[in-house]
Amino acid sequence: MKYKDKNVTIGEVVVEVPEVTEVFKEFRIDFCCGGHRNLASVIEEQKIDGAALFERLDKLYENRKASYENKESQFDQMSPQVLVTYIEDTHHEYLRRVLPETAGLLTTILRVHGKNHQELFDMYRIYGQLKADLEQHLLKEETMLFPDFNEIDNNEQEIIDLTKMIMSEHEAAGELLEKLRTISGNYHLPEDACKTFAKTYQLLEDIEDDLHQHIHLENNILLKNYRKRETLFKSNEILN
């Protein structure tokens, strides 16, 4: 498999074997916002056991080949228009439902447990920023980016121009998710946690998982070609 190529990116591995996201999460490898990075470089920088990682990837790849007839998971084979519809129907709708629900639960546990767990105040602030950023981000994609894929021949330059902004917002969301995970101690529940506390942490982890897949589909598949053209454009500017 090409993941052993020193030039292969994390995103390319996920496109070929989507199930690898669970393994990458175990090894704390960022596959959404960091999907453009070389896997070999990340292994070296994070001092990851490459042999152990490759063994897991080998097993997933063999399983993937055995069940390749499952076309529904082949997002890289979808047209941009079909993928956009999938992202809206699956990930955007999920976020619109779960973001306010989680905000309400976080407010509740802050009122009940805030005195003994002051980290909840930081989580409340950061989650509020994440929620606001994501809500405007979804609208920005649906009103500015996604419609251009319906007239792709006429709006290619617009998509290239929007790609930088959209991916920058993805990176910002990824940083906020990481802050929430760090402050919560990887969502480890304290001894006095109630059921609402547990549900809140579970929803925060679910949001993180969904956003990782959501951002991966956009960064590493939907916007991949336009991201490369933006990079090429910048390189040409420097040379000139």
pLDDT one-digit tens code per residue, 48-87: 988 888 888 888 877 766 654 454 457 878 888 889 999 9
Rounded average pLDDT over 92-103: 95
- Residue 217 and residue 161 share a domain: yes
Q: Select from 134, 73, 75 the least CA-distant residue to 100.
A: 134
Q: Select from 111, 135, 134 the least CA-distant residue to 121.
A: 111
Q: Select from 183, 83, 189 the least CA-distant residue to 130.
A: 183
Task: Choose one of 45, 72, 99: the last residue of a domain.
Answer: 72
3 Cβ contact partners less than 8 Å away, ≥ 6 residues apart: 12, 13, 16, 39, 54, 57, 61
- Residue 42 and residue 123 share a domain: no
- Residue 141 and residue 30 share a domain: no
What's the pLDDT score for residue 237? 40
Q: Which residue has the higher pLDDT, 57 or 33?
A: 57
Task: Choose one of 32, 56, 72: the last residue of a domain.
Answer: 72
- Residue 109 and residue 19 share a domain: no
> Which residue in this structure is represented by tokens 């792709």?
152
> Which residue in this structure is represented by tokens 């779960």?
98
- Residue 190 and residue 93 share a domain: yes
Distance CA 220, CA 39 (A): 14
Please state, as a whole number, how many other Cβ atoms lie within 10 Å of the Cβ of residue 59: 12
Task: Choose one of 24, 44, 72: the last residue of a domain.
Answer: 72
User: 0.85 cut: is pTM over it?
Assistant: no
Does position 151 have pLDDT exceeding 80, yes or no? no
215 Cβ contact partners less than 8 Å away, ≥ 6 residues apart: 32, 33, 170, 173, 174
- Residue 120 and residue 12 share a domain: no
Phi and psi torsions of 30, nearest 5°: -75, 110
- Residue 203 and residue 89 share a domain: yes
Collapsed DSSP state (helix, strand, coil) of residue 9: strand
DSSP summary character for residue 38: B
- For residue 162, give both structure tokens: 């929007």
Residue 98, domain extent: 78-239
Domain tally for the chain? 2
